[in-house]
Amino acid sequence: MKFPSVRLAEVAIIERDGIDASEISSNTEYLGLEHIESGGRILGSQKVLNGELASTKFRFGSKHILYGKLRPYLAKIALPDFEGICSTDILPINSGPRIDRRFLAHFLRQPSMVDFAASRATGANLPRLNPKVLAEFEIPLPPVEEQKRIAAILDQIDSLRRLRQSAIDRLNSLGQAIFDEMFVKDRGAHSWPVSRVADVAKEIRTGPFGSQLLHSEFVDEGIAVLGIDNAVNNEFRWSKFRYISPEKYRDLKRYTVRPGDVLITIMGTCGRCAIVPDDIDVAINTKHLCCISLQQELILPGFLHAAFLMHPALLKQLGVQAKGAVMPGLNMNIIKSLKLCIPPIDLQRKYVERISIMTTQKQNMLQHMAGLDSLFAASQQRAFNGEL
C-alpha cells in the first residue's frame, strides 16, 4: 500500500528561534554538529560559560528534531530529550499533530533521503541545505497510529544496532586501556631503551614517484598497488583495486611490501596506520605511503602500530594532542626520526596476543553489525513504501 505524501512544511515547522549570544545564560546546554554522530546519536552536550559563545544560536527542546544542514553532515539528525541551544548549522524541526516525531526522523535519516538532501545543498566551500528547500521535501503520511507502529519497529532494530556499536566502542576503549597499562603506566618503562624508528627498522621507503608509475599504466589485473585507502581506517582493508603488469613490476620490485610491514599514510589523510597481512599476494605501495620493514627481534609490527596511534610521547612528537587526530604534516624523514621506548619483546608479544583476541571479537561484532545495518536499511525501505 503506497502512502499519500505531503510537503514537510504541511506537517512540521522549521523553527529558527534565534537567541543572541548576549542573552545566553551560563550552564545552558549547547549542541554543535561535533556533538552529534551520523545516524543521530548525541555524544554529549557542552555547558555554556559566560561569554563563551559569540554568535546567535537556535533554541530547541525535546519536541524537536535536530537536522544538520551542512554537507557532508546531513545524516546528523538527532532527537534530543532536553532543552538547550544549538549551532545555526542545525535546524530545529517541530513536528505537528499529523506526523509522529520519530517517524519523521527515521524517514529523514534514510540513506536515500540523505543523498537526496546532499544533491540539493548549495555553496562553494561548505554546501548547505536551504531551509526552504527542506520544507518542500515530500514526506509519506500514513495515519498517525501507523506512523507510530512503523517508528516502534525501526526503533527496535536501531536499538540493537546502537547496542552493538556500544560494545564495539567499549572494545576500542579497552585496547587503549591495555596499551596504557602495559607501556605508558608501567613503572619499568623509564628503564627501557629509547630508539629512533630508523634504528629498529630494516628498511623505510615510500613508493615510486613521478614518471616511475603513471595512472595510465594501471591494468585490470596483475600485481596489486597499495594506497591511502588500504590504511585510512587504521587497519588494512582492500578498497579500490589497482594493478600493474608483471613486466612493470620488474621495474618497481624494490617497492614490494611484505607481510608484517607497517604502512603509514603521508599524503592526503596523514597519520593513518596499518599492518600488511600475512596472506597478501605480491604487491607494491604508492608514494602516498611510508612502508616500514622492522627488525622483529627488536620490535613487533603490532606494537609499533599501536604506539604510533596511541602513545602520548610519540603523538607529542608528531604535534598531535589527541589520538585519532589527523597529523598536521608527515613525511618519511619525520617518521625515521621519531623516538620511542622499546619494551621487552616478550611484553610486546603478550600485548599483540591480547589484542589479537580482541580483534577477532571485534570482527565478529562488525559482521553482526553489518547484518543489522542491512536489516535496518531494508526495513526502512519497506516501511516507507507501505510494505512493513
Give yes or no: residues 95 and 117 share one domain: yes
Under a CB-based contact definition with an 8 Å cutoff, are residues 207 and 287 in contact? yes
Give yes or no: residues 336 and 199 share one domain: yes
pLDDT digits 0-9 by tens, 210-235: 889 888 899 999 999 999 999 988 98
Assign residue 242 the CATH number of its domain.
3.90.220.20
Give yes or no: residues 333 and 363 share one domain: no
Flag whether pLDDT at 317 surpasses 60.
Answer: yes
Flag whether pLDDT at 15 surpasses 70.
Answer: yes
Under a CB-based contact definition with an 8 Å cutoff, are residues 79 and 40 in contact? yes
Q: Which domain holds residue 378?
A: 142-173+180-187+351-388
Give yes or no: residues 202 and 338 share one domain: yes
Give yes or no: residues 205 and 164 share one domain: no
Q: Which of 356, 354, 353, 348 has its CA nearest to residue 298?
A: 348
Give yes or no: residues 222 and 310 share one domain: yes
- In this prediction, residue 373 has a pLDDT band, given cuts at 50, 70 and 90, of confident
pLDDT digits 0-9 by tens, 121-136: 998 778 999 999 999 9
Give yes or no: residues 306 and 205 share one domain: yes
Give yes or no: residues 279 and 236 share one domain: yes
Q: Terminus-to-terminus CA distance in the chain, angstroms?
A: 10
pLDDT digits 0-9 by tens, 243-289: 999 999 999 999 999 999 999 999 877 889 999 999 999 999 999 99
CA distance 30 to 212: 52
Give yes or no: residues 210 and 311 share one domain: yes
3-state class (DSSP) for residue 36: strand
**Mean per-residue pLDDT for 13-33?**
88
Q: Which of 182, 146, 148, 121 has its CA nearest to residue 3?
A: 146
DSSP secondary structure, 197-228, as one string: GGGGEEEEE----GGGS-GGG-BSSSEEEE-G
DSSP secondary structure, 172-183, as one string: HHHHHHHHIIII
pTM above 0.85, yes or no: no
C-alpha cell at 282: 605480491
Number of domains in the chain: 3
Give yes or no: residues 53 and 101 share one domain: yes
Neighbouring CB atoms inside 10 A of 31's CB total 24
Give yes or no: residues 270 and 386 share one domain: no
Q: Which of 334, 271, 341 has its CA nearest to residue 308?
A: 271
Give yes or no: residues 222 and 91 share one domain: no
